[in-house]
């Protein structure tokens, strides 16, 4: 990992640069596939599944027989682990429910807000080198709690034309209405336009590679909402001289193994700790089954020394990490003042892996600096806030003149008339 000592603020943007392609580099491919899927539906889906996933399928829908086979294939201990994680995720997301908010703004003018579930949602579950069945829990559980009626799950098939048994098990356990063996850009396009077998949805959720991220952004041009731009995984750890170097190295590698375009960063006020972490990373890397992937990711990663906590915090807020781990004696300072992070992990015994799987928080988070403006997935992500109002005779008499004056000042006579005609009847 590259060690950077006390970088000047003017160089921070270069130091903190992500190892991702620009949208322009891949947008042309995404647009081309979207157009093909819009015109040719399942035929285009089949073509791109064969091209990118190396398998030709007669049907992309997971059958009841495949579901049963998957249910039997997942070991009992793993089934229990998935159920434990599901319970914790349900507990945390159920607690996010809010009651109706009702206010009488003026006597006779009643206003309230209620939540309504998004009826049709599409969930994208990455496959490839690591089928992320944990993401099924993170997306389906809050969708169910919110009350979404149609929950469509897409994930890329393996070379045998199947999904990982764990993905199918988790999807069935949580109540997915349709499981589809389609990945990549073509899955997002299918959910955007709808095909003969893929239902069109109102909002698309889930992480993915850079192509999937750009595809999700393109989907918004066709009236489909997305959770956030969630691309390659990233982690930033802040630590001081008292931190445990082996713990930190394990956390950095836990994200580095996600993919070759992942990025991990350590920011520290201790040069000694940086040296220890660098040694630990090399040692732990050697025994990882996904060493080749983690090694490339580590090449994108940085160990950054800064002089004090104030500078460290400023740099971290500038980066806006997806995952942020605090291993500092000055813990409260970071907890109280962090402004830009997707999810925060506090203390030596809170590995980022806990949030990825079973603590209860959601692991679908904004990357690439989007934590400066986006929240991670939560219960509200699956619903809309609707406002209501009911005005009595007394209420329209109380605010009628206010509306008339404002409408007239804006030159909108019909707006004024809609009130005046009522007031005339009441006076």
356 carries a ligand binding annotation? yes
408 carries a ligand binding annotation? no
- Average pLDDT over all residues of the chain: 95
What is the structure's pLDDT at 26? 87
Do 334 and 398 reside in the same domain of the chain? no
DSSP state for residue 361 in the 8-state scheme? S
Do 322 and 213 reside in the same domain of the chain? no
Cα within 13 Å of Cα(176), Cβ side: 30
- Say if 387 falls within a structural domain: no
- Say if 317 falls within a structural domain: yes
Do 223 and 303 reside in the same domain of the chain? no
Residues 26, 34: Cα–Cα separation, whole Å: 13
In the predicted model, is pLDDT for residue 362 greater than 80? yes
Residues 48, 43: Cα–Cα separation, whole Å: 9
- Say if 365 falls within a structural domain: no
State which of 227, 257, 289 marks the end of a domain: 227
What is the structure's pLDDT at 21? 58
Do 181 and 317 reside in the same domain of the chain? no
Residue 182, strand partner residues: none
Residues 250, 285: Cα–Cα separation, whole Å: 9
DSSP 248-261: HHHHHHHHHTT-TT
Give just the sign of the alpha carbon dihedral 133, 345, 238, 251.
negative
Q: Token digits for 9? A: 């603020």
In the predicted model, is pLDDT for residue 108 greater than 90? yes
115-119, 125-129, 244-248, 267-271: least confident range? 125-129
* Mean pLDDT of the region 12-21: 86
- Say if 366 falls within a structural domain: no
* Mean pLDDT of the region 172-198: 97
In the predicted model, is pLDDT for residue 221 greater than 70? yes
What is the structure's pLDDT at 120? 98
205-219, 243-257, 383-397: least confident range? 205-219
Higher-scoring residue by pLDDT: 23, 212? 212
Among residues 355, 358, 308, 353, the alpha carbon closest in space to that of 334 is found at 308
* Mean pLDDT of the region 332-350: 98
What is the structure's pLDDT at 370? 93
pLDDT in tens, 128-173: 667 889 999 999 999 999 999 999 999 999 999 999 999 999 999 9
User: How far apart, in Å, do the first and last CA atoms of the chain sit?
Assistant: 79
389 three-class SS: strand
State which of 227, 259, 287 marks the end of a domain: 227
User: How would residue 319 be classed by pLDDT, with cut points 50, 70 and 90?
Assistant: very high
Residues 129, 109: Cα–Cα separation, whole Å: 57
Do 58 and 197 reside in the same domain of the chain? yes
Write down how long the chain is. 427
Contact 211, 26 (CB under 8 A): yes
How many domains, the chain?
Answer: 3
- The region that residue 161 occupies, defined by phi over 0 for left and psi between -120 and 50 for alpha, beta otherwise, is left
Contact 342, 365 (CB under 8 A): yes
258 carries a ligand binding annotation? yes
What is the structure's pLDDT at 1? 85
Q: Which domain holds residue 305?
A: 2-17+232-360
CATH number at 397 reads 1.20.5.1300
Contact 45, 190 (CB under 8 A): yes
- Say if 375 falls within a structural domain: no
Do 306 and 351 reside in the same domain of the chain? yes
Residues 145, 272: Cα–Cα separation, whole Å: 47
State which of 180, 202, 227 marks the end of a domain: 227
* Mean pLDDT of the region 417-423: 98
130-134, 286-290, 389-393: least confident range? 130-134
Residue 87 annotated to the active site: no
Do 298 and 333 reside in the same domain of the chain? yes
Do 172 and 103 reside in the same domain of the chain? yes
Do 27 and 161 reside in the same domain of the chain? yes
Q: Token digits for 23? A: 């949208």
- Cβ neighbours, 10 Å, residue 309: 18
* Mean pLDDT of the region 171-190: 97
Active-site residue, from 172, 322, 352, 363: 322
- Say if 367 falls within a structural domain: no
For residue 150, with 0-12 CB atoms within 10 Å meaning exposed, 13-18 middle and 19 or more buried, which class applies? middle
Contact 328, 236 (CB under 8 A): no
What is the structure's pLDDT at 200? 98
pLDDT in tens, 58-86: 999 999 999 999 999 999 999 999 999 99
Active-site residue, from 93, 323, 352, 363: 323
Do 267 and 411 reside in the same domain of the chain? no
323 carries a ligand binding annotation? yes
What is the structure's pLDDT at 171? 98
377 three-class SS: coil
What is the structure's pLDDT at 22? 61
25-34, 95-104, 332-341: least confident range? 25-34
Alpha helices in 320-388 (DSSP H): 331-337, 352-357
CATH number at 354 reads 3.40.50.1980
φ, ψ for residue 386 (rounded to 5)?
Answer: -110, 135
Contact 398, 109 (CB under 8 A): yes
- Say if 403 falls within a structural domain: yes
What is the structure's pLDDT at 298? 92
357 carries a ligand binding annotation? no
Do 350 and 215 reside in the same domain of the chain? no
Residue 307 annotated to the active site: no
Residues 245, 122: Cα–Cα separation, whole Å: 40
363 carries a ligand binding annotation? no
Do 193 and 296 reside in the same domain of the chain? no
In the predicted model, is pLDDT for residue 392 greater than 90? yes
Q: What would the 3-class secondary structure string for 114-179 be? A: EEEECCEEEEECCCCCCCCHHHHHHHHHHHHHHCCCEEEEECCCCCCCCCCHHHHHHHHHHCCCEE
Contact 83, 134 (CB under 8 A): no
Q: What is the pTM of this model?
A: 0.93
Contact 377, 94 (CB under 8 A): no
Cα within 13 Å of Cα(192), Cβ side: 29
In the predicted model, is pLDDT for residue 23 greater than 70? no
């Amino acid at each position: 990992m590259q060690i950077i000592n006390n970088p000047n603020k003017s160089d921070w943007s270069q130091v903190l640069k992500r190892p991702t392609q620009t949208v322009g580099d891949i947008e042309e491919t995404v647009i081309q596939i979207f157009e093909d899927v819009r015109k040719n539906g399942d035929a285009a889906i089949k073509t791109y599944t064969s091209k990118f996933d190396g398998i030709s399928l007669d049907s992309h829908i997971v059958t009841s027989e495949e579901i049963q086979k998957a249910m039997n294939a997942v070991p009992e201990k793993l089934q229990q682990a998935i159920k434990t994680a599901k319970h914790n995720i349900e507990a945390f997301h159920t607690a996010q429910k809010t009651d109706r908010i009702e206010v009488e703004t003026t006597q006779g003018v009643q206003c309230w807000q209620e939540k309504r579930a998004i009826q049709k949602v599409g969930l994208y579950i990455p496959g490839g080198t690591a089928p992320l069945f944990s993401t099924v829990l993170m997306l389906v559980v809050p969708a169910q709690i919110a009350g979404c009626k149609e929950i469509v799950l897409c994930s890329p098939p393996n070379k045998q034309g199947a999904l990982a048994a764990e993905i199918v098990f988790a999807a069935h356990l949580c109540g997915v209405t349709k499981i589809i063996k389609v990945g990549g850009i073509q899955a997002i396009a299918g959910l955007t336009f709808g095909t003969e077998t893929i239902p069109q949805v109102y909002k698309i959720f889930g992480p993915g590679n850079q192509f999937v991220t750009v595809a999700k952004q393109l989907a918004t041009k066709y009236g489909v909402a997305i959770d956030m731009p969630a691309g390659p995984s990233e982690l930033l750890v802040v630590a001081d001289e008292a931190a445990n170097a082996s713990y930190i190295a394990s956390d950095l590698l836990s994200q580095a193994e996600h993919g070759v375009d992942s990025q991990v960063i350590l920011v520290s006020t201790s040069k000694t700790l940086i040296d220890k972490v660098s040694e630990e990373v090399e040692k732990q890397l050697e025994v990882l089954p996904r060493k080749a992937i983690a090694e490339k990711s580590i090449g994108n990663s940085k160990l950054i020394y800064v002089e004090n906590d104030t500078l460290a915090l400023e740099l971290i807020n500038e980066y806006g990490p997806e995952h942020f781990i605090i291993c500092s004696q000055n813990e409260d300072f970071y907890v109280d003042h962090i402004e830009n992070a997707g999810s925060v992990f506090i203390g030596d015994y809170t590995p980022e892996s806990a949030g990825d799987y079973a603590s209860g928080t959601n692991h679908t988070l904004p990357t690439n600096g989007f934590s400066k403006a986006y929240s991670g997935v939560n219960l509200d992500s699956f619903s809309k806030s609707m406002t209501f109002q009911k005005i009595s005779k007394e209420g329209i008499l109380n605010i009628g003149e206010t509306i008339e004056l404002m409408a007239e000042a804006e030159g909108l006579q019909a707006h004024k008339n809609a009130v005046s005609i009522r007031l005339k009847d009441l006076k």
